[in-house]
Structure formats: structure tokens, C-alpha cells
Amino acid sequence: MVLEIKVNNLAARAIAMTSGVAVCALLILGALVNLGVNLLTDPRVSAPKELLTAAIAYVPNSAPLNARLAEAEMMEEDRDLSSIEKRVARAVDHSPWDYRQRLLLATVKEAAGDRAAAEQALQEALLLAPNYPEVHWRLANLLLREGKLSKSVSEFRAATSSNKSLLPGTLDLLWRVSAGNLNVAQAVTPSDPASRLVLAQFLLRQFRANEAITVFGDIDRDPLILLPDSSAFINSLMAEGHLEEARALWAWLVSGDDSQPAPLGIWNGSFESDLSSKLAQFDWAITRSDYALPSIDTTVARTGSRSLRVDFAGRDTTRLDGQIKQIIVVRAGGKYRLECYAKSERLETPEGPRVVVMDITSTKEIASSDAVAAGTNDWRRIAIDFSTPTSARAVVVGIKRVPKFSYDKPTRGTVWFDDFALIEQPQ
């Protein structure tokens, strides 16, 4: 439908044209004013107080402009809180559904010493934006400053549930305020696996290892094993000297069997399980070097279907030191026998590789086997008897080949190892 207005009188035409121009001008002016207000209230733009003051003379009832000017005035040393509060109240009145104005009002009220009014303003903001972590965070901190610890916990938890980055700082704050109350720390932590892992790490840093281990062990294994920080937690336990506990948690993560504690000793001694890339703390650590290429062989084995294979590259002064190893938890001052089997094929060497047991701290050799004989040989048993130092909690089992002199002839050929076992001997 087309609306057609016919104006025949010349004066009437002039009035109509003038009115149209005026309306257009007003629309343009309104658009420009709106654009100016948006620019001045954009948080990414730094607006001087003088410019905000000049702009508010044209739009005195603009809620965003009043709020931005109030924020600027709050930064002044000689601020007039009474005047600022009136400005914020105007912003609230003209934008009653915007929770941000209530947050600003709470700031002004608390600055004036009226925490009860500040709490009321935050509660009103929470009704307007119940899912915003910022609102819960602000209310939680105010409640804490008011001494209402128990009430603040639920607000802190709501904030950290929506914004996981807030949890470490929250735990640190409430730990100090509550004098290390574990119940408070647990209550404020969301129930998802990642958050519970953050709590476990936090407790470990507070030297509460037993509680940290309990929290970690109560997390569902399937999501836990996918979290990168799970490996970091195991590393932290080891660094703090909790090797047996770290080994037990590690074995549970890797195997998924929590029906009984995993036995100490060699893990995956027959190489039948795939090596863990994400959780490698107590598994075989195997890396290649310029002298040798270690790998898992699926075609040669003494028992089962796999073995450890080492192909030597034929370079002179061959060195194998640290490329094949496993951390073993032991009892301090204990007596042990380490057994395994070795097989060689066309091994040419001045001296073959040896199986060694080393101190985990100093890497000093505690015991060593005879060298694997050169040539081609079928599976032969290797046995090492050793005692652990009285201060030892773990040792490192490895395969080593270190030249005795600055130069020796190249080592080439292949050696297989299988069926590692550690047997504790009676005292």
C-alpha cells in the first residue's frame, strides 16, 4: 500500500518540506548523540572526565553515561561520594534491568561504609544476572569482608563453577581466612574432575599430602586420565618424596585396577603393555640416540609376544646411558635380586651392554650385571643381587654401555631383553 499526500498550496508545501527537513535533522542529531554516547561509554575507549561531563549536559538521563562518569569520579582522591551516589542512582533508575549499574552502586555504598546497602545492591544485581560469575564473585567477596564466611562459600562456588580460572585464587583466599579449614576448601570446589584436581594440587602445595592424595583418588579415573595436570600431580608427589603413594596412584591411572594396591617392583617387565606417553613416571622410558635405536619388538620374545630390542648403529665409542630406564620404588636398606633375560644377534662390540641399578638421586651405580656377550646367543639369564642404601626410597633400573676409554671400536648388531623381575630377598 502506498500513502500519497498531495499538497497543492505553495505555503503548505513549504511547511511540509521544512517539517521533513527538521525531522531528518532531529533523527541525524539523535543518531549522532547516540553514537557519541556509545563511544564515550565503550570500556575500550579512555574518556576524560571533562568530556564525559560535557556530554552529560546534553543527555543527562543516559544511564551508561552517568555510570561512566561516576566510575571516573570514583578514581579521584577528593571524590564526593554523595554526589557520585546520586549519579549512580540516576543510572539505576533509567536502566533498571542492567545489573552493572547495581554493581557500581554496591561499590559506591561500600566505599561510603554502608556494607549492608552494598550487599542489598549486589543481591539485586544477582536477581538480574543469576548466571554471571562476576556478580557471584563480587557478592562472595563482600560477604567475606562482612565476616560471613559460610554464606560466601556458596557464592564463591557459583563463581568458580562458571569461571574455572577463579578457583586457585579462591582456594588461596579462603584457606588463609579459614586458617586451613579443609571442609571450606572442599565446599568451595566444584564437583567436576578438573576442579577437584586443582584442589588436590592446592592441598599438596600446602603440605597436606594425605588429604591431596585422598581427593585425587576419589576423582573418576576415566576423565582424570585425560587431564594433563594428572601427570603433573604425580610429578609433584614424587618431588615431595611421596614415592610409594605416587607409584600407587600412577598404577591405578595406568591400569584402572583399584581392587588392590599394585605390587612394587618392575612394571611391564615383559613389555606386553604399550608404553604410556602421558603417564610415563614409573613405566619404561625409552629414547633413541645416535648410537642405538631401542624399540619394542613384536616378533621376538622369550615369553609372551614382545620384548625390548636394541639395534646398535655401528658408531665408534658407542654410549648407551639413560636411553632405557625405569624408576623402581624400593624399601630403604632392603635386599633385592633383579633378573632378566638377554639375547643377541651378530653383536660386535669391545664390551656389550649391561643391566645396572642406580641411585635415583646421584645416578651412582649400586650394582651391575656382566656385559652381554658378543656374537649370536639365545636367551640367557641375567641376575643381580644388591642392597639399597638406608636412605633410598627408589632406584633406577637401566641398560648401560659406557666406553672405558676415550675411544673404542664401534658396536653393531642387536640385543633383546625380556622378562625383567625384581624379587625382594629376606633380610
Gap between the Cα atoms of 146 and 37, Å rounded: 37
How far lies 60's CA from each of 65, 76, 390, in Å? 8, 21, 81
Residue that has been written with the C-alpha cell 660386535 in this structure: 348
What's the mean pLDDT in 48-74?
69
Question: Are the beta carbons of 112 and 79 closer than 8 angstroms?
Answer: no
Is residue 112 exposed (0-12), middle (13-18) or buried (19+ Cβ within 10 Å)? middle
Q: What is the pLDDT of residue 39?
A: 44
User: pLDDT for 259-304, tens place per residue?
Assistant: 555 667 899 999 999 988 788 999 999 999 999 999 999 999 999 9
The CB-side HSE value for 375 (13 A sphere, CA atoms) comes to: 5
- What is 210-238 written as a DSSP string? HHHHHHHHTS-HHHHHH-HHHHHHHHHHH
Q: What is the pLDDT of residue 9?
A: 61
Q: In the structure, what pLDDT confidence band is assigned to residue 13 with cuts at 50, 70 and 90?
A: low
Taking the CA atoms of residue 160, residue 166, residue 168 and residue 169 in that order, the dihedral angle to the nearest 10 degrees is -120
Regarding beta strands 375-387 and 394-400, do their DSSP bridges make them parallel or antiparallel, or are they unpaired? unpaired
pLDDT at 136 over 90: yes
Q: What is the pLDDT of residue 267?
A: 94
Gap between the Cα atoms of 159 and 165, Å rounded: 10
Q: Which of 83-87, 236-240, 335-339 has the lowest mean pLDDT?
A: 83-87
User: pLDDT for 172-207, tens place per residue?
Assistant: 999 999 999 999 999 999 999 999 999 999 999 999
pLDDT at 209 over 90: yes
Q: What is the pLDDT of residue 40?
A: 47
DSSP state of 320: B
Query: Minimal CA–CA distance to 196: which of 171, 180, 215, 209?
Result: 215
What's the mean pLDDT in 133-158?
95
Q: What is the pLDDT of residue 35?
A: 40
E strand or H helix that includes residue 412: strand 412-425
Q: Is the CA virtual torsion 169, 174, 180, 182 positive or negative?
A: negative
Which residues are 357's β-sheet partners?
367, 397
Gap between the Cα atoms of 373 and 52, Å rounded: 88
Q: What is the pLDDT of residue 371?
A: 95
What's the mean pLDDT in 313-325?
94
φ, ψ for residue 318 (rounded to 5)?
A: -60, 135
Gap between the Cα atoms of 378 and 419, Å rounded: 14
E strand or H helix that includes residue 122: helix 115-128
Q: What is the pLDDT of residue 33?
A: 43
Residue that has been written with the C-alpha cell 594396591 in this structure: 261
Measure CA of the first residue to CA of the last residue in the chain; give whole Å.
Answer: 106
What's the mean pLDDT in 247-266?
79
E strand or H helix that includes residue 387: strand 375-387
Average pLDDT over the chain, rounded to whole?
86
Helix, strand, coil percentages for the chain (3-state, nearest 5)? 45, 20, 35
User: pLDDT for 81-132, tens place per residue?
Assistant: 888 888 888 888 888 898 999 998 999 899 889 999 999 999 999 999 999 9
How far lies 218's CA from each of 184, 195, 250, 253, in Å? 18, 12, 14, 12
The CB-side HSE value for 62 (13 A sphere, CA atoms) comes to: 24
Is residue 14 exposed (0-12), middle (13-18) or buried (19+ Cβ within 10 Å)? exposed
pLDDT at 326 over 90: yes
Q: What is the pLDDT of residue 44?
A: 53
- What is 307-319 written as a DSSP string? EEEEEEE--SS--
- Tell me which architecture the domain covering 285-425 has in CATH: Sandwich (2.60)
Q: What is the pLDDT of residue 144?
A: 95
What's the mean pLDDT in 34-62?
57
Q: What is the pLDDT of residue 90?
A: 85
For the chain, give every domain's residue range.
Answer: 198-259, 285-425
The fraction of the chain above a pLDDT of 70, given in percent, is 84
Q: What is the pLDDT of residue 6?
A: 54
Gap between the Cα atoms of 101 and 117, Å rounded: 14
Gap between the Cα atoms of 66 and 37, Å rounded: 10
Q: Which of 11-15, 171-175, 328-332 has the lowest mean pLDDT?
A: 11-15
